Copies of this chain bind each other. A is one copy, B any other.
Amino acid sequence: MTVIPAPDDTSAERKLRRDAERNRQRVLDAALRVFGERGLDASLDEVARAAGVGVGTVYRRFPDKESLVEALFKDRIDELTAEAERACEAPDPWTGLVSFLEYAAGRMAQDAGLRQLLMYCTFGKDKVSYARARMRPAMVRLVRRAQDAGLLRTDLEATDLKLITHMVATAADYAASVRPDIWRRYLALIVDGLRPAREGVCELPVAALDSDELLCVMLAGGTATRGARRAPGTYPD
């Protein structure tokens, strides 16, 4: 017997949504875990199994693997943004900036999934504009504040923070198995180079990416992801 719901009766719908939402979250959690352990190449079957749902369910929530990775990425961006905003409130602008970099690098050092996500997942397009819109204001503010206080070299730009993060993540990723704290070393090195120009220290020889270039890059992605498994038949050429 079919019950035709009144136009405003959304209780059934709500229930499903709650159910669906629970599954969505389970999948995201499992994906973070599995991708962290096995790398982004882990199969969605594995993710589904870890989530305790069928693959079909994963696909119902995320149209394809790319979208799932993207969603994971967005959540991470949100966290990073929150931290960046917190860092903007720090009494000392330099400390704020550095503590943000430390936060970001430290997170990555602990979490291979996050590292991969930030470094290698150039899948997806939506996530790019999202990340840009989301993080840019905080980044700009973080940099500007420190420069205005004369504590940061003036040729540094907001987009540099992304790449700096990327660099540190690379180091962290590389040596995580034997020296989980090695990122501190390389971050310190970089931070040392961030101080305002002094004697014997040259200006940065090339301009930073501007914001459009960064967008463009995020869409094209580095080579690191080109090896990623593509849907059958999707091979170029």
- Once bound together, how far apart are the Cα atoms of A209 and B234, in whole Å? 37
User: Is A200 at the interface (CB under 8 A from chain B)?
Assistant: yes
Interface residues of A (CB under 8 A from B): 36-42, 112-113, 115-116, 119-120, 160, 163-164, 166-168, 170-179, 181-182, 184-186, 188-195, 198, 200-209, 213-214, 216-217, 220-228, 231-234
- Contact partner of A193 (CB less than 8 A), chosen from B172, B190, B208, B234, is B190
- Once bound together, how far apart are the Cα atoms of A182 and B204, in whole Å? 10
- Once bound together, how far apart are the Cα atoms of A170 and B223, in whole Å? 9
A-B pairs with lowest CB-CB distance, top 4 = A39-B226, A41-B227, A112-B223, A39-B227
- Once bound together, how far apart are the Cα atoms of A184 and B209, in whole Å? 12
Task: Given A37-B226, A190-B190, A193-B193, answer yes or no on A217-B171 (Cβ-Cβ < 8 Å).
Answer: no
Q: Which residue of B lies closest to A197 (CB)?
A: B192
Query: Do A216 and B177 touch (CB < 8 A)?
Result: yes
- Once bound together, how far apart are the Cα atoms of A189 and B174, in whole Å? 20
Query: Do A170 and B224 touch (CB < 8 A)?
Result: yes
Apart from A175-B213, A182-B206, what are 15 other A-B pairs with CB-CB below 8 Å? Answer: A37-B223, A39-B227, A41-B226, A112-B222, A166-B170, A167-B168, A167-B170, A170-B171, A175-B217, A178-B213, A178-B216, A178-B217, A185-B204, A185-B207, A189-B204
User: Which residues of chain B are near A36, meaning CB under 8 Å?
Assistant: 223
Task: Given A166-B170, A192-B192, answer yes or no on A181-B209 (Cβ-Cβ < 8 Å).
Answer: no
